[in-house]
Amino acid sequence: MKSKSFTKYWRVIESKWDNFEKLFFKFDVFKCSNMNPEYFEKLLTDERIIRNQKKIESVIFNAELFETIIKEHGSFGKFLVNWPKYDQYGLYVYLNKGGSRFGLATTGYFLRFMGYDAYLLSRDVVKALLREKVISTNNPNYSPTSKKDLQAIQDAFNVWKSEGKYSYAQISRVLACSVD
């Protein structure tokens, strides 16, 4: 279940989405990566969007990363198609290193939105992973961040995927629904 603050946050985003698209050139990678400093400064004071400097900067940084990927692979889609399906953790690391604000949850949702077969590490999925002893901790609110845990999660998803006909996305949904 989504928390009230999470839902409220997304309502703000949704209410301003048309402005985000307009002010960020419909998220054209090449235009965003070459945004001039004066325009950036205007965005920081534009009440039509959320005026968070780090988040606005992340659009520029991520556009630069995607521009590089597009130049090297022809498109982001081709890049994703060629990324090993069994290595979502490696993809997360790659995007996190080269981009900005690509956390575990953000990356998972982004990949799913792009049509990539991605697992999510929601609270319920993490609870199921703890129950299945894929990872261990005494903290019930644990969010995996260690390389060891993230690799163990990837390995577990790969085993479950190899054992059946389900996608990574379906496996993470089943895990999430299996928690009381």
CA distance 153 to 63: 29
- Domains in the chain: ranges and CATH: 4-82 (1.10.340.30), 85-180 (no CATH)
Q: Tell me the percentage of the chain whose pLDDT exceeds 90.
A: 82
Give the pLDDT confidence score for residue 117 in this predicted structure. Answer: 96
CA distance 35 to 118: 31
**Full-model pTM:** 0.85
CA distance 130 to 68: 37
Give the pLDDT confidence score for residue 1 in this predicted structure. Answer: 46
pLDDT digits (tens, 9 = 90+) for 125-138: 999 999 999 998 88
